[in-house]
Structure 1
Amino acid sequence: MKPSTLCRLTLVACVSLAPAAALKADPGSRLWATGGVTTIEGTAGGGLVPWALMSGYASDEEWGGTLTLSRAETDDFTLNVTGAALNWRNRIELSIARQTLDLDTLGAALGQDELSQDIFAAKVRLAGDVLYSDYGQWSLGLQHKHQREFDVPEAVGAEDDRGTDVYLAASKLFFAAVLDRNLLVNVSLRGTRANQGGLLGFGGDRNDSYEAMLETSAGILLNRSWVVGAEYRQKPDNLGFAREQDWWDVFVAWIPDRRLSVTAAWADLGDIAGLEDQRGLYVSLQGTF
């Protein structure tokens, strides 16, 4: 599917879902857009970086969650993600996601069309509040990943078909910080052994130890329905056969209703498996309950 086709389908879904969603009760009482969107790993955050926020809009006395479909297309790869998250009392988030990476260019040579992995994640709010605390909201999370097709990762030097990332995230909303618009800033520190997020396994011939990686996000709330921003994510470099590069994106999120959000981004994923300059469109559709 071409990016233009994907965008048209997403817009059709938005138009059809938004009126119906607006007739129903709000899914939680937290302020608009304070649940973020959903990362490619299924947790609340931006597209690439997990935030300290909990998914959805559940407050301290509520529960709720999200369902997500995402797709990213570059010159040589296509990534599809389905995910679901549950938020209990704005304190604990549990999520699950399935990533499938289509090997559009390498598939014929490798005799394998795709790589996929399952991600089981949990996040706990440790302290603070993103809106009102001086030092923002702090959360601790983990993501356990299981690579489902390990032949290719093993052949290029990966040590394991599963691994667990651990991260500490801090998020803070600054009121009227940029041209009288609210600014959300997030900083995350991740301990990881994952190659290309785990899709090429964990550890490798160059390094098999956990490393600390910095991840950052910033978003400006133009109004309660539109957010624009950027993200940056450091990556380890464990495999000798090809260098692994950091990821970044610029994004816009549309939140027409508490039950629906659409995120579009231009993502630069660097070189992947020796194929250079993997850049392209990322689109994510999220429903909240």
Structure 2
Amino acid sequence: MPVAVLVASVLSGSVPPAQAQTLTMPDQGRLLALGGASQIEGAGGGGLTPWALITGYGSRDSYGANVHTTGVRTQDYAIDSAGIAIGIADRFEVSLASQKLQGSKAPLADLAITQDIVGLKLKLSGDALVDQDRAMPQIALGIQFKRNNGVHGLEALGVTDVTQLGARSNHGIDVTLSATKVLLAQSLLLNATVRATKANQLGLLGFGGDLHDRYQPMLETSVVYLVNRKLVVGAEYRMKPHNLSVDAEKAYADVFVGYFPVKNFSMVLGWVTLGDLTIFNPRRQNGVYLSLQGGL
């Protein structure tokens, strides 16, 4: 429940002050590590794909919030992401993120592309942790509004917008449906997400293209092993559409280690492969992924 609503309820006498105080303070009532990390588009989940879990450690009577910074470094490119996310009553999530793609080698050494992302997520049913006696996973519906802010560093070629690279639009919407299950006896977290998208390279190269301009369902999966209360290891796979002839887009994948020393801080370190990002640097882009998250 938003703080402003709670204050108004207290003033009107409809909510006792003691209850309002409990609800307005983040109780961090969920298990360590199950607050997840922030995926590269800002939603709660793994590194590459969102999970059905709501970000933060707030229980159904509280809320949680966090900030994150993420960096990916490959041979020819760098992708950076930073943002904030809030989870409310373990049911609803709001996230804001900004991404930047930069080139590091010719002919795209001066390339810089940024985009902003607003994400919403709603838990529809189930509980990934509590429902240990049945196979039902936690299911959540997500939506990400993305706007590309233009292309920098290619002005000499007359390119200032992703539509000049073949994209049909500089803005788009991704819709995700995620199912997440925690198997405590096996120390496993399993996630599958189906994403309807037109995004090229997360949207950093725009949306739609000369090859395709329609929504396509893409599968994203995560498998995480809970080594102990503070340490996890996992792997992810994310299918990608191929809409642009100038971008031989391929699936993303990673393997990672996540460390959760306390509920206020987490770190995820991994190896990631992003495929061929453009035809101008035609080789598979492999590199290191590091994400830091702090919250309450």
Fold equivalence (TM over 0.5): yes
Residues in 2 aligned to 1:270 and 1:127: alpha-carbon distance in whole angstroms:
35
Corresponding residue pairs, total: 259
Aligned runs of 1:94-109 on 2, under 5 Å?
Answer: 94-106=94-106, 109=107
2:258 counterpart residue number: 253
Is it true that 1:159 corresponds to 2:159 in the alignment? no
Q: Deviations over 1:240-265 (max 9, x none)?
A: 12311000000000000010000001
Residues in 2 aligned to 1:278 and 1:111: alpha-carbon distance in whole angstroms:
15
Q: Deviations over 1:97-117 (max 9, x none)?
A: 0001112125xx469530000
Conserved? CA contact 1:26–1:259, under 8 Å: no
Query: Paired residue for 2:191, among 181, 186, 189?
Result: 186
Query: What TM-score comes out, normalization by structure 2 length?
Result: 0.85
Letter matched to residue 118 of structure 1: D
Conserved? CA contact 1:146–1:162, under 8 Å: yes
Conserved? CA contact 2:104–2:110, under 8 Å: no
Q: Look up the SS of the partner of 2:202 in the other structure.
A: helix
Aligned runs of 1:126-165 on 2, under 5 Å?
Answer: 126-133=124-131, 134=134, 135-150=136-151, 151-165=160-174
Query: Paired residue for 1:168, among 149, 159, 177?
Result: 177
Aligned runs of 1:117-132 on 2, under 5 Å?
Answer: 117-132=115-130
2:9 counterpart residue number: none
Q: Deviations over 1:66-117 (max 9, x none)?
A: 10011110000011111100111011000000001112125xx469530000
Structure with max Cα Rg: 2
Displacement over 3 Å in runs of 4+: 109-113
Is it true that 1:227 corresponds to 2:232 in the alignment? yes
Shift in Å, 1:125: 0.4
2:92 counterpart residue number: 92
Query: Paired residue for 2:246, among 241, 249, 256?
Result: 241
Q: Look up the SS of the partner of 2:150 in the other structure.
A: coil
Q: Look up the SS of the partner of 1:154 in the other structure.
A: helix
2:112 counterpart residue number: 114
Point out where structure 2 has 5 or more consecutive residues left out of the alignment.
1-24, 152-159
Shift in Å, 1:130: 0.5
Structure 1 residues 238 and 28: alpha-carbon distance in aligned structure 2, compared to 1, 3 A threshold: same
Q: Deviations over 1:177-204 (max 9, x none)?
A: 2xxxx10000000000000000000000
Letter matched to residue 114 of structure 2: S
1:37 counterpart residue number: 37
Conserved? CA contact 2:64–2:87, under 8 Å: yes
Structure 1 residues 130 and 111: alpha-carbon distance in aligned structure 2, compared to 1, 3 A threshold: closer
1:68 counterpart residue number: 68
Structure 1 residues 54 and 105: alpha-carbon distance in aligned structure 2, compared to 1, 3 A threshold: same
Letter matched to residue 288 of structure 1: G
2:5 counterpart residue number: none
Is it true that 1:277 corresponds to 2:275 in the alignment? no
Conserved? CA contact 2:35–2:53, under 8 Å: yes
% identical aligned pairs: 42
Conserved? CA contact 1:130–1:173, under 8 Å: yes
Q: Look up the SS of the partner of 1:159 in the other structure.
A: coil
The more displaced of 195-204 and 63-72 is 63-72
1:81 counterpart residue number: 81
Conserved? CA contact 1:125–1:140, under 8 Å: yes
Residues in 1 aligned to 2:210 and 2:271: alpha-carbon distance in whole angstroms:
32
Letter matched to residue 122 of structure 1: L
Aligned runs of 1:17-36 on 2, under 5 Å?
Answer: 28-36=28-36
Letter matched to residue 87 of structure 2: N
Point out where structure 1 has 5 or more consecutive residues left out of the alignment.
1-24
Query: What TM-score comes out, normalization by structure 1 length?
Result: 0.87
Residues in 2 aligned to 1:122 and 1:112: alpha-carbon distance in whole angstroms:
33
Structure 1 residues 79 and 147: alpha-carbon distance in aligned structure 2, compared to 1, 3 A threshold: same
Letter matched to residue 115 of structure 1: I
Conserved? CA contact 1:27–1:259, under 8 Å: no
Shift in Å, 1:26: 7.7
Structure 1 residues 198 and 269: alpha-carbon distance in aligned structure 2, compared to 1, 3 A threshold: same
